[in-house]
Structure 1
Amino acid sequence: MTDPAYQRLGLPVTASPYAVLRAAVRALHPDTRAVRGFREARKRFYRLMLCAHAARQAAGETPTG
C-alpha cells in the first residue's frame, strides 16, 4: 500500500530522487515551509516520500492514472 501523500505527488516510476524531493517541497504550503520548528517534521516527510518512491521502483509498479 502506497502512502496517500506520495500518491498525490503524481510522479512517474522513472522519476529521479531529486524530482521526488522537488515535488514534495512544492506539495507543502509555503507557511509550513517557513516555520523553523517544523524542520524535523519536514525532513521526515521528505524521507518518507523518498522511501515510498524507492519502494515503488523496487516493486516495478506501473504508473496509474
Structure 2
Amino acid sequence: MIDPAYQRLGLPAEVSPYAVLRAAVRALHPDTRAVRGFRTARKRFYRQMLCAHAARQAAGDEPNA
C-alpha cells in the first residue's frame, strides 16, 4: 500500500529522488518548515516519501496510478 501523503504529491514514477524531495518540501506548510523542534519529524517525513517513491519505482508502477 502506498503512503497517502506520497500519493498527494502527484509525481510520476520516473522522476528523480531529488524531485520527490523538492515536492515533499513544498507540500509542508511554511510554518511547519520554520519550527526547529519539528526537524526530526520533517526528516522522517522526507525519508518516508523517498522510500515510498523507491518502492513504487521497484514495483514498476505506472505514473499517477
User: What's the TM-score, normalizing by structure 1?
Assistant: 0.97
What is the aligned length? 65
> Which whole-Å deviations, capped at 9, do the CAs of 1:2-56 have from their partners, x for residues lacking one?
0000000000000100000000000000000000000000000000000000000
Q: Contact 2:14–2:63 (CA<8 Å) still a contact in 1?
A: no
Please give the alpha-carbon distance, in whole angstroms, between the structure 2 residues aligned to 1:24 and 1:63: 17
Q: Percent identity?
A: 85
Residue 42 of structure 1 is matched in structure 2 by 42
Larger relative contact order (CA 8 Å, sep ≥ 6): 2
Gap runs ≥5 in structure 2: none
TM-score by length of 2: 0.97
